Amino acid sequence: MLTTRYVTGSPNWLDLGTPDLETATAFYGGLFGWEFRSAGPDAGGYGMFQLDGRTAAGGMTVPPEQGPPSWNIYFQSPDADATADAVRGGGGTVLFEPMDVFDLGRMAVFTDPSDILFGTWQPGRNKGLDVAAEPGSLCWLELYTPDQNDALAFYTGVFGWETSMMALPGGTGAYTMAHPAGEAAETMFAGVVPLSSDPTETGAYWLPYFEVPDCDASVAKAGELGGTVRMPPVELEGVGRFAKLADPTGARFAVIQGAQVAQENAEAA
């Protein structure tokens, strides 16, 4: 389970690159209750999406010529420079060399061997997101990749991840999950999914999931706010009810109503 007890290799930050920050702020504010707070005049327009005064994500304007609208995931490292070396050694690419962000921490941005974007955050004064696995915050990740084995070998080499497996309902296969090195399997934070196994996905990328109290209500609200439903709500036994969405500019994400909440809602209906 994703928590704010960050260790090496765990996701500790995410941010939105969007061509229209005002529209994004209105959308995610209406959907999750976030408020955008600028990081100040020296931060180049970067700011924080806050949930009840706690940082749930970062965000900034990214012109279309610099890249498509997207959510970007960062994993904790004790040494961003060493992580950059490991990325190169594993066949990835360093897009932005490690750099200090004031006294907040040190960051770098990469692509893996399948050209999937991700980053690393070496904490300084900023240890990472203030909230996780609560309604309106990041609770899970999925990596959609053309080669599951190669992806696992790469990220294991870079961050030391370990994996566990969960049988899918109906004997349809198994779901591979990652957790930080040396930690219990219960600290899993991501699934690694072959791109060919999911017809709703047309490109390799990291997909963030945000916890919501009611999946169907959130999907309806996203539509009202100008978002797109890429996959309608689906129930997965023991996991919960989830759906895949895109915001008004096309940034992809998912929402999930955890199994316990889904059961409580069903019993109350």
* Identity of residue 79: D
pLDDT at site 148: 95
Of all residues in the chain, the percent with pLDDT exceeding 70 is: 95
* Identity of residue 265: N
pLDDT higher than threshold 80 for residue 248: yes
Report the alpha-carbon distance of residue 255 to residue 239 in Å, rounded.
Answer: 12
Report the alpha-carbon distance of residue 108 to residue 258 in Å, rounded.
Answer: 32
pLDDT higher than threshold 60 for residue 230: yes
Every domain of the chain with CATH number 3.10.180.10 lies at 11-123, 138-268
pLDDT at site 12: 98
**pLDDT tens by residue, 196-221:** 988 889 899 999 999 999 999 999 99
Q: pTM, whole model, 2 decimals?
A: 0.95
Long-range contacts of 213-218 (CB under 8 A, 24+ apart): 213/135, 213/257, 213/261, 214/257, 214/261, 214/265, 215/240, 215/241, 215/242, 215/243, 215/255, 215/256, 215/257, 215/262, 216/241, 218/31, 218/243, 218/255, 218/257
pLDDT higher than threshold 60 for residue 165: yes
Report the alpha-carbon distance of residue 245 to residue 256 in Å, rounded.
Answer: 11
Report the alpha-carbon distance of residue 18 to residue 62 in Å, rounded.
Answer: 5
DSSP 8-state code for residue 154: H
Q: What's the mean pLDDT in 222-229? A: 98
pLDDT at site 192: 97
**pLDDT tens by residue, 46-73:** 999 999 999 999 999 999 999 999 999 9
**pLDDT tens by residue, 149-161:** 999 999 999 999 9
pLDDT band at 171, cuts 50/70/90? Answer: low
pLDDT at site 119: 98
* Identity of residue 149: N
3-state helix, strand, coil in the chain (%, to 5): 25, 40, 35
**CATH class for the domain made up of 138-268:** alpha beta
In this structure, which topology does domain 11-123 adopt according to CATH? 2,3-Dihydroxybiphenyl 1,2-Dioxygenase; domain 1 (3.10.180)
